[in-house]
A and B are shown apart, each in its own frame.
Chain A
């Protein structure tokens, strides 16, 4: 079982360019999440989706957009990248959003915006 896959593994992007980070899970989890992780800071939630067809804003949503057309895929788009979006991006999924539902993480995408 692959679990959660993310692509690309790493990317260098020129400021002002757009980019989509891909995330796919094969666990049939209802909920999916996008986090960014920066040195010295905890994981910060960018956007989330509790079920296919719905999305919500997290703690740091500005400059990012998401869609959830089906259960498996949850792409994250940067419309016009800025250097402050340089970070490691993790996609995660969980069976649901309550009780003991644990979040499982993909391997991450390391993004550098120059």
Chain B
């Protein structure tokens, strides 16, 4: 079966750095996506990785290791507005997205 694993919840302090991990087992791999979803709102796109390595985009970076079936999202200089759920999704061999349940990130002052 196909499986995406993420921690259910994480807590971090404003101004700090947090790393949200995602491990996956899917039938085929055609890219990994990270989305942000604030409570009661729609998911919005953050990043895309298809090759191994780190993709940096401002305060957010995403890393991929295809051999390990592993990715992480790194958030720097945390702000209160970063309190949200972060969703990991893998595009499988049928080019459909398989979604993790999401990691709820709580930022404390």
Could you tell me which A residues sit within 8 Å of B by CB distance? 40-45, 48, 58, 90, 97-100, 102-108
Instruction: Give every chain B residue within 8 A of A99 (Cβ-Cβ).
Output: 31
A64 and B99 CA atoms in complex are apart in Å by 20
A81 and B7 CA atoms in complex are apart in Å by 33
B11 at the interface (CB under 8 A from A): no
Cross-chain contact A45 with B97 (CB below 8 angstroms): yes
Residue in A40, A48, A90, A97 whose CB lies within 8 Å of B43: A90
A103 and B43 CA atoms in complex are apart in Å by 9
Could you tell me which B residues sit within 8 Å of A by CB distance? 4, 30-31, 33, 41-45, 48, 50, 87, 89, 95-102
Instruction: Give every chain B residue within 8 A of A107 (Cβ-Cβ).
Output: 41-42
A104 and B45 CA atoms in complex are apart in Å by 7
Q: Please name 18 pairs of A and B residues whose Cβ atoms are closer than 8 Å in the assembled complex, sorted by A.
A: A42-B4, A42-B99, A43-B87, A43-B89, A43-B99, A44-B99, A58-B96, A90-B42, A98-B30, A99-B31, A100-B31, A100-B48, A102-B48, A103-B45, A106-B42, A107-B41, A107-B42, A108-B41
A108 and B38 CA atoms in complex are apart in Å by 13
Residue in B4, B87, B95 whose CB lies within 8 Å of A97: B95
A-B contacts besides A99-B31, A105-B42, A107-B41, 11 pairs, CB < 8 Å = A42-B89, A42-B98, A43-B43, A45-B96, A45-B97, A90-B42, A98-B30, A98-B95, A103-B33, A104-B45, A108-B41
A98 and B96 CA atoms in complex are apart in Å by 9
Q: Please give me the residue from chain A that is nearest to B97 by CB atom.
A: A103
A41 and B41 CA atoms in complex are apart in Å by 16
Instruction: Give every chain B residue within 8 A of A106 (Cβ-Cβ).
Output: 42
**Distance (whole angstroms) from the CB of A101 to the closest CB of chain B:** 9
**Distance (whole angstroms) from the CB of B53 to the closest CB of chain A:** 15
Residue in B33, B42, B50, B100 whose CB lies within 8 Å of A102: B33
**Distance (whole angstroms) from the CB of A85 to the closest CB of chain B:** 19
A100 and B87 CA atoms in complex are apart in Å by 17
Given contacts A42-B4, A43-B87, A58-B96, contact A105 B101 (CB under 8 A): no
